[in-house]
Structures are given as C-alpha cells and as structure tokens.
Structure 1
Amino acid sequence: MPVPAGEVLGAAERVALDQAIRSAETVSRFEFSVYLGPAEDDSRAFAERLHAALVVPDRSVLVLVDPGARVLEVVTGAVVRRTLTDEDVRLAVLAMQADLADGDLVGGISRGLRTLAQQARG
C-alpha cells in the first residue's frame, strides 16, 4: 500500500485505510493498493506505471488519489477485469467522489474499496 502522504493522514487514518484494503482483499481475493499523494501531469499514465510495478498486477487493483489536484484514478489488472467491469469501476468512483469532495479521504477511499471488492468477487 504505497501511501507517501504521512503528512496527509494521521496514524489512526493510516490504520483505517490499511484495514479497508485488507478487507477488500479478503472479500474479493484480489490485491488492492492505494496511492495517496501527488500524481504526475498525466495521472492515468502515472497510475498505470504504479500498477505495473505491483507484485501481481494482473490480479491487482490500484486506486490513486491526488487530493491537491483533485484526481482519482482506478487501474485494474487483466484477471480482475474478468469480473470487475468498467461500469463497476465508474460506480465505485462515483461513490468515492462525494466523500473526497467533502475532504473525507479515508471514508471516500474506503467506500470505493468496498464497492470495488464487492463487484470484483463476481
């Protein structure tokens, strides 16, 4: 779980986010990673590079959130896409956006992870 944003999240928030990730992995049996921090100019390409660097990218979901730039990206691996459709991802992004817009990073990301995990389990 790359979260290079120690100044953005407190210890309790990092624990809560880690628990949300573990829960999503248990529900779906896929790997989940969250990147919370600044993205490069081409946020999609940056997210795809991060995803490709994961241990098992084909079985992984990466959620990138750049609060400063108001950017949210979700990248899914080939195996994950067999059960998690683009529409499922779009719905998860919509679920996250309201919380993120209100400044609730952990709540928004956790909601998105739950939604993605439920849909990914098929």
Structure 2
Amino acid sequence: MPSNQSTPIQNNVFAVSVTVKAAQGTEPYLVFNPDPVTLSNQANALIVYSLVSPGYYFPSDGSALVINSADADAEFPIAWLINAATLALGDYNNNAQSYKYTMTVIDALSGAPITTDPSISNTNDE
C-alpha cells in the first residue's frame, strides 16, 4: 500500500518508486510510493523517481514529468532523465503548496504511453 509519508534518503533527497499496475482486462496505471511526495520544511529538495517495473521506461522527449502550474518554472528549476528508469526533479520548496503533475512511462513492447497524475506537497512556508 502506498505511503503518504516521505523520509529524506539523504540531505533533503526524497525517493519515489514508480510501479506499473494492470489487472487483466484493464488499462495499466502507475502507482507512486509515496503519493503525495511530502517534503520536509527545508528548501531545495531533490525528488528521485525510480521506475521499478521491468519492460517500461521513461520517455526522453520531455513528457516523462510535466507540472502544469503557473509558478512551476519558479518552483521546479530542473528535471532530468538520469537513465531509462530514473528521473530527478529539483524543487525549491519555497512555499506550502500542493502541485499535481503528470508522469508518463512507455510500455517497451507496445510503445503505448501510461500516464498518471500524482502530487507533490511542499511544506516550506518560510
């Protein structure tokens, strides 16, 4: 069962596992642990996403992680693809807001995208 508590793995770095789930006869979807990613009250966090399901990968065209918020560019300075199964996101954590984002992975066999909308909960209100 996914958790909603985040614990930094080191110096304000948060790990999130991404798993592809699909019941027979249903569309696959992504499960995030934790969801939401709840940051500590320190500024300048790093969120590292690890895709743990074999046979899937993060797309390299910029669609793997998209934050649709008016202040997304000011709050999330950089996202980068480390490899096909690892993605990192910088978060200034300047406020106490929650952000929805869209994450996409690709099924390596079919080429079909799988998209889900989890969230990040910033907690720094300084």
Q: TM class by shorter-chain length?
A: 0.3 to 0.5
Q: How high is the TM-score relative to the length of structure 1? A: 0.36
TM-score normalised by structure 2 residue count: 0.35
Structure with the larger helix share: 1
